């Protein structure tokens, strides 16, 4: 049967067909839909873990116990997972173990453009790279068998254009879930120096064995592909770049690699000998190019193409052929400039009232990763620094120590509930232990918002929306020694302002829990029959309500607010902004 | 025999371009054509500019539609027609919803929302492109919800493509199978869009 599937859905399908039993992941664009799709296969145990390191350790445990296991993450998530992954590489597997990582060339929704293929070389793990949804399914399925055959974890490297493109997939029959017996084997599974020294020898030999199989067998298995055409130019490529090559330079001969670490150097050398000019087409780092050159094979790559962003067919056509480029229909010089359209905080977003308070206070804000990073933009413009998951709390402590505590009187850290539980809590413990005086605001909207509403330990639900224990953030913070813990509603923006003022003045670690559900989840949706209405007589046309830039409220031609009842969440932030009681909530009788 | 067709769905986060793309995927599968639909998730959904590429035909390689490659550009919002105008191919078709959604820089007074966009588009034509504008928002509201703008746009697209209407309707039924009570509204919106362009 054929189905149209997102690359991510196809990875999940492949794992399902391979008989995967345990999947543990932390959400991250563009990888999230893999685990969400896994949750639709009832026979698979799956979970949202607190972070990628935890998720990887769950998968490693499941594999050693004998089950096929998988963990999925975005590229920066692999940095978090790297510690267990590097040593799991020494221990090998029992049941097949797959690390799926999704890179984001072009940074559609990421803070950097790291090339995760480098992890294959660094951790000495096989890296498979699919180029469309069919290969996503096939490679994911094969990854488990290869993992068991070579006794190694396997990295399945995705990227945005493959993860988030839909194409046709031929479905296969699912294999039964098999759990192999577990046998204690400290020489393989306890990496103390004496054991690890021996395992390192095994790891290096394994890489040679995989390279040999890649040269000899992977063509026949459909992992690599050779398409001989005009031999004036031969292109070595992988992933979505292969699609751009076929589109832009269809006349070229192509060696498409499905396994990009270790590289099949004999295959590449043989292909190179058959073409006049060898060109390596790969987005981001010159990963293959560097290795191919080091093997003494002449080629071109980054001398022709950029290190940044996504590639496309036009770019390859312009660089490698005389083929005409497509002609545009319109004379763009005759068109007006389209104003930018950056993303913004939604109508009813609980982050807005809090950021407006921070903006009025003119405090320094250590930011974190989530929807609330948008608090950087006007009209709230209340963020100074944002690095990675959990960093806000540590950076606030760094500001505190660098300024002998002085900056903590004018600095807060803001961090979402999911991000706090991912890696903010360890920073909070560190700050208490090391006698900081920081103020941490936990933005508890009871969901992981930015990635599309995944459950977390504060949600009270698991990945399958079944009831689950909800962690009590107040108790958690008090239990690690925070003496001042307060809870506020962000719609009460002036109340938030007052509480922040009081807490930053204190010479101890303070936590302010800013609690209101995300406006896009069932508990955050507007109650039925409620609307916000304008009392025309009271309105002084001051613009205080429209300056908050709520997508549901704009100033009309007469400067009075016009509310879009369909978009309005009735959160009431605009009511609180009005000093003249011109806005109020109306409930239908 | 499948003809290569490239369709751009350009709109604002929340306007339903992703669902429209998914529907075209189902349609291509029914026709036995190859298809690629490329989406952008994440950041762009928070009211940002959102673009979906749909390519179908005998064999599709790249999921991306580049400058001068689009047979159809469906602008779900007026200024988005300007933003993505470079993608339209010589002799291509540009369908514009006259709905205006002001973006943050416009609301802040840092940028201006251009006036007379439709006239500018017409005046910039180098190639006998078909440029049509209609009020998809009003048509959608007549069907019951602004959320049906996407099906009005798809309906308009269908009028220009030589594909059996029954297949489009089957694809809509499938795309909304999990929310069956929305099917009648979406079919109505589709037909309204089809009539607007016919």
Q: Smallest CA–CA separation between A486 and chain B, in Å?
A: 30
Asked if B60 and B3 touch (Cβ cutoff 8 Å), the reply is no
User: Cα(A383)–Cα(A366) distance, rounded to whole angstroms?
Assistant: 6
pLDDT given for residue A151 in this prediction? 98
**A336 and B43: CB-CB below 8 Å?**
no
Q: Are residues A87 and A151 in the same domain?
A: yes
Give A 559-588 residues with CB within 8 A of chain B: 566
For residue B19, pLDDT beyond 50: yes
Q: Are residues A174 and A77 in the same domain?
A: yes
Binned at pLDDT 50, 70 and 90, residue B197 comes out as confident
For residue B92, pLDDT beyond 80: yes
For residue A278, pLDDT beyond 50: yes
User: Cα(A288)–Cα(B59) distance, rounded to whole angstroms?
Assistant: 28
The CA-CA-CA angle for residues A430, A433, A438, to 5°, reads: 70
Q: Are residues A315 and A440 in the same domain?
A: no
A325/B contact by beta carbon, under 8 A? yes
Q: Are residues A85 and A200 in the same domain?
A: yes
Question: In whole angstroms, what separates CA A8 from the centre of its chain?
Answer: 13
**B121 and A335: CB-CB below 8 Å?**
yes
**What residues in B contact A2, CB-CB < 8 Å?**
29
User: Cα(B144)–Cα(A241) distance, rounded to whole angstroms?
Assistant: 43
Residues B171-180, mean pLDDT to the nearest whole number:
94
**B29 and A29: CB-CB below 8 Å?**
no
Q: Are residues A354 and A375 in the same domain?
A: yes
ipTM comes to 0.94
User: Cα(A28)–Cα(A52) distance, rounded to whole angstroms?
Assistant: 10
Q: pLDDT digits over A485-532, tens only? A: 999 999 999 999 999 999 999 999 999 999 999 999 999 999 999 999
pLDDT given for residue B2 in this prediction? 59
What's the CATH code of the domain at A530?
Answer: 3.30.70.20
* DSSP category for residue A259: E
Residue after which a domain boundary falls, among A522, A543, A564: A522
**What residues in A contact B64, CB-CB < 8 Å?**
161, 244, 310, 312-313
Q: Smallest CA–CA separation between A181 and chain B, in Å?
A: 41
A309/B contact by beta carbon, under 8 A? no
Q: What residues are paired with A423 via a beta bridge?
A: none
State the CB neighbour count (10 A cutoff) for residue A17: 19
Q: Smallest CA–CA separation between B183 and chain A, in Å?
A: 20
A243/B contact by beta carbon, under 8 A? yes
User: Cα(A162)–Cα(B60) distance, rounded to whole angstroms?
Assistant: 14
A377/B contact by beta carbon, under 8 A? yes
A312/B contact by beta carbon, under 8 A? yes
- The mean of the pLDDT values for chain A is 97
**What residues in A contact B41, CB-CB < 8 Å?**
29-30, 108-109, 164, 452
B112/A contact by beta carbon, under 8 A? yes
pLDDT given for residue B107 in this prediction? 82
Q: pLDDT digits over B141-162, tens only? A: 999 999 999 999 999 999 999 9
Q: Are residues A266 and A141 in the same domain?
A: no
What lies within 8 Å, CB to CB, of A44 at 6+ separation is: A15, A16, A20, A21, A22, A23, A38
Reduce the secondary structure of chain B to three states and give it as a string: CCCCEEEEEEEECCCCHHHHHHHHHHHHHHHCCEEEEECCCHHHHCCCEEEEEEEEECCCCCCCCCCCCEEEEEECCHHHHHHCHHHEEEEEEEEEECCCCCCHHHHCCCCCCCCCHHHHHHHCECCCCEEEEECHHHHHHHHCCHHHHHHHHHHHHHHHCCCCHHHHHHHHHHHCHHHHHHHHHHHHHHHHHHHHHC
pLDDT given for residue B40 in this prediction? 78
What lies within 8 Å, CB to CB, of A102 at 6+ separation is: A8, A28, A29, A30, A31, A34, A72, A73, A74, A75, A158, A159, A160, A163
Q: What residues are paired with A74 via a beta bridge?
A: A102
Does residue A119 lie in a domain region?
yes
B46/A contact by beta carbon, under 8 A? yes
Binned at pLDDT 50, 70 and 90, residue B42 comes out as low
**What residues in B contact A30, CB-CB < 8 Å?**
41-42
Domain count for chain A, please give it: 4
Q: pLDDT digits over A180-237, tens only? A: 999 999 999 999 999 999 999 999 999 999 999 999 999 999 999 999 999 999 999 9
Residue after which a domain boundary falls, among A475, A492, A522: A522
Of B60, B66, B92, the CB nearest to A312: B66
User: Cα(A40)–Cα(A161) distance, rounded to whole angstroms?
Assistant: 23
Does residue A172 lie in a domain region?
yes
Of A244, A329, A338, the CB nearest to B82: A338
Residues A245-265, mean pLDDT to the nearest whole number:
97
Residue after which a domain boundary falls, among A303, A320, A337: A320
Asked if A232 and A89 touch (Cβ cutoff 8 Å), the reply is no
Of A30, A164, A343, the CB nearest to B46: A343
Closest of A61, A69, A76, A67 to residue A31, by C-alpha: A76
Instruction: Read off the tokens for A447.
Output: 């969901």
What's the CATH code of the domain at B70?
Answer: 3.40.920.10
pLDDT given for residue A438 in this prediction? 98
User: Cα(A513)–Cα(A354) distance, rounded to whole angstroms?
Assistant: 11
Of A341, A451, A554, the CB nearest to B49: A341
* DSSP category for residue A328: B
The pTM of the full predicted model, rounded to 2 decimals, is 0.96
What size, in residues, is chain B? 198
* DSSP category for residue A224: S
In whole angstroms, how far apart are CA A181 and each of A64, A66, A91, A94, A95?
A: 9, 6, 17, 9, 9
What size, in residues, is chain A? 589
A362/B contact by beta carbon, under 8 A? no
Q: Are residues A506 and A364 in the same domain?
A: yes
Q: Smallest CA–CA separation between B150 and chain A, in Å?
A: 17
Does residue A340 lie in a domain region?
no
Q: Are residues A195 and A274 in the same domain?
A: no
Please, what's the largest Cα pairwise distance for chain B? 51
DSSP A501-516: HHHHTSSS-EEEEEE-
Instruction: Read off the tokens for A579.
Output: 């000093």
Per DSSP (E only), the strands in A301-438 are 364-366, 411-416
Residues A51-75, mean pLDDT to the nearest whole number:
98
Q: Smallest CA–CA separation between B128 and chain A, in Å?
A: 8
User: Cα(A458)–Cα(A443) distance, rounded to whole angstroms?
Assistant: 11
Does residue A327 lie in a domain region?
no
User: Cα(A589)–Cα(A247) distance, rounded to whole angstroms?
Assistant: 62
A346/B contact by beta carbon, under 8 A? yes
For residue A275, pLDDT beyond 90: yes
Domain range for B57 is 5-197
Q: pLDDT digits over A284-322, tens only? A: 999 999 999 999 999 999 999 999 999 999 999 999 999
Chain A residue closest in CA terms to B113: A339
What's the CATH code of the domain at A281?
Answer: 3.40.50.920
Q: Smallest CA–CA separation between A483 and chain B, in Å?
A: 36
* DSSP category for residue A465: S
**What residues in A contact B104, CB-CB < 8 Å?**
340-342, 344, 377-378, 549
**What residues in B contact A450, CB-CB < 8 Å?**
42-43
**B112 and A161: CB-CB below 8 Å?**
no
Percent of chain A with pLDDT over 90: 95
Domain range for A569 is 526-587
For residue A432, pLDDT beyond 70: yes
Q: Are residues A26 and A87 in the same domain?
A: yes
User: Cα(B80)–Cα(B86) distance, rounded to whole angstroms?
Assistant: 11
**Distance separating the N- and C-terminal Cα atoms of chain B:** 24
Question: In whole angstroms, what separates CA A437 from the centre of its chain?
Answer: 32
- With H, G, I as helix, E, B as strand and everything else as coil, classify residue A322: coil
Binned at pLDDT 50, 70 and 90, residue B3 comes out as confident
For residue B47, pLDDT beyond 90: no
Q: What residues are paired with B70 via a beta bridge?
A: B88
Per DSSP (E only), the strands in A355-454 are 364-366, 411-416, 439-444
Does residue A342 lie in a domain region?
no
A341/B contact by beta carbon, under 8 A? yes
Buried/exposed code over A212-236 (b: 16+ C-beta within 10 A; e: otherwise): ebbbeebbeeebbeeeeeeeebbbb
pLDDT given for residue B1 in this prediction? 47
Q: Are residues A422 and A300 in the same domain?
A: no
Chain B residue closest in CA terms to A161: B38
Domain count for chain B, please give it: 1
**What residues in B contact A313, CB-CB < 8 Å?**
61-62, 64, 66
Q: Smallest CA–CA separation between A488 and chain B, in Å?
A: 25
* Winning range, highest mean pLDDT, from A192-196, A377-381, A553-557: A192-196
Asked if A307 and A284 touch (Cβ cutoff 8 Å), the reply is yes
Q: Are residues A196 and A49 in the same domain?
A: yes
Q: CA neighbours within 13 Å on the CB side: how many for A231? A: 8
């Amino acid at each position: 049967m054929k189905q149209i599937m997102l690359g991510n859905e196809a990875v999940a399908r492949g794992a399902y067909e391979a008989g995967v039993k345990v999947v543990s992941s932390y959400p991250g664009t563009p990888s999230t839909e893999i685990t969400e799709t896994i949750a639709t296969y009832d026979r698979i145990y799956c979970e949202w873990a607190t972070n990628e390191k935890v998720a990887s350790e769950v998968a490693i445990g499941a594999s050693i116990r004998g089950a096929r296991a998988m963990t999925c993450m975005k590229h920066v998530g692999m940095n978090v997972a790297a510690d267990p992954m590097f040593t799991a590489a020494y221990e090998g597997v029992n049941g097949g173990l797959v690390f799926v990582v999704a890179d984001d060339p072009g940074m559609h929704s990421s803070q950097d453009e790291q090339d995760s293929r480098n992890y294959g070389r660094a951790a000495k793990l096989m890296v498979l790279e699919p180029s469309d949804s069919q290969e996503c399914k096939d490679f994911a399925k094969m990854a488990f068998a290869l993992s068991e055959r070579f006794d190694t974890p396997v990295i399945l490297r995705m990227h945005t254009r493959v993860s988030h493109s839909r194409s046709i997939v031929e479905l296969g029959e699912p294999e039964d879930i098999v759990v192999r017996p577990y046998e204690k084997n400290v020489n393989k599974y306890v990496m103390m120096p004496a054991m690890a020294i021996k395992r390192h020898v095994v790891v290096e030999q394994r890489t040679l064995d995989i390279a040999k199989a890649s040269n000899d067998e992977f063509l026949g298995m459909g992992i690599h592909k050779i398409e001989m055409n005009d031999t004036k130019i031969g292109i070595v490529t992988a992933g979505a770049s292969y699609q751009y090559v076929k589109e832009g330079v269809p006349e070229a001969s192509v060696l498409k690699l499905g396994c990009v670490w270790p590289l099949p150097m004999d295959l590449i050398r043989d292909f190179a000998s058959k073409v006049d000019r060898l060109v390596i087409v790969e987005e981001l780092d010159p990963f293959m190019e560097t290795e191919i050159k080091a093997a003494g094979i002449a080629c071109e790559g980054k001398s022709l193409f950029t290190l940044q962003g996504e590639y496309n067919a036009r770019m390859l056509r312009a660089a490698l052929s005389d083929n005409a480029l497509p002609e545009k229909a319109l004379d763009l010089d005759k068109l007006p400039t389209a104003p930018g359209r950056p993303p913004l905080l939604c109508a009813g977003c609980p982050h807005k009232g809090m950021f407006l308070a921070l903006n009025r206070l003119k405090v320094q804000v250590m930011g974190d990763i989530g929807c609330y990073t948008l608090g950087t933009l006007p009209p709230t413009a209340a963020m100074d620094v944002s690095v990675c998951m959990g960093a806000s709390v540590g950076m606030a402590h760094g500001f505190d120590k660098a300024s002998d505590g002085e900056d903590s009187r004018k600095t807060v850290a803001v961090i979402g509930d999911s991000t706090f539980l991912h890696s903010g809590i360890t920073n909070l413990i560190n700050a208490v232990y090391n006698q900081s005086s920081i103020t941490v605001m936990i933005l508890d909207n009871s969901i992981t918002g930015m990635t599309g509403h995944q459950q977390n330990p504060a949600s009270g639900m698991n990945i399958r929306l079944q009831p689950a224990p909800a962690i009590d953030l107040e108790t958690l913070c008090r239990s690690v020694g925070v003496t001042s813990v307060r809870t506020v509603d962000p719609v009460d923006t002036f109340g938030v302002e007052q509480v922040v003022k009081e807490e930053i003045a204190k010479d101890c670690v303070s936590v302010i829990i800013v609690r209101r559900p995300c406006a896009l989840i069932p508990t955050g949706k507007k109650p039925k029959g409620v609307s916000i209405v304008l009392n025309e007589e009271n309105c002084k046309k001051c613009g205080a309500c429209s300056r908050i830039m709520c997508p549901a409220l704009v100033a009309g031609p007469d400067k009075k607010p016009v509310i879009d009842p369909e978009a309005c969440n009735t959160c009431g932030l605009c009511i609180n902004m009005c000093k003249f009681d011109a806005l109020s909530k109306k409930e239908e009788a | 025999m499948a003809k290569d067709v490239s369709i751009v769905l350009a709109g604002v986060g929340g306007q339903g371009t992703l669902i429209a793309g998914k529907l075209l995927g189902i349609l291509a599968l029914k026709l036995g054509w190859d298809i690629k639909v490329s989406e952008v998730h994440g950041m762009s959904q928070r009211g940002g500019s959102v673009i979906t590429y749909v390519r179908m035909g005998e064999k599709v390689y790249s999921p991306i539609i580049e400058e001068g490659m689009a047979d159809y550009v469906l602008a779900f919002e007026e200024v988005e027609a300007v933003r993505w105008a470079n993608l339209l191919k010589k002799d291509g078709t540009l369908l514009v919803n006259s709905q205006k959604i002001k973006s943050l820089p416009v609301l802040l007074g840092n940028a201006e929302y251009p006036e007379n966009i439709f006239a500018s588009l017409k005046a910039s034509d180098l190639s006998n492109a078909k440029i049509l504008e209609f009020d998809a928002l009003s048509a959608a509201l007549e069907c019951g919800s602004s959320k049906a703008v996407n099906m009005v746009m798809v309906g308009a697209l269908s009028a220009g493509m030589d594909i059996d209407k029954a297949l489009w309707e089957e694809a809509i039924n499938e795309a909304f199978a999990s929310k069956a009570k929305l099917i009648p509204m979406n079919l109505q919106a589709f037909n309204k869009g089809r009539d607007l362009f016919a």
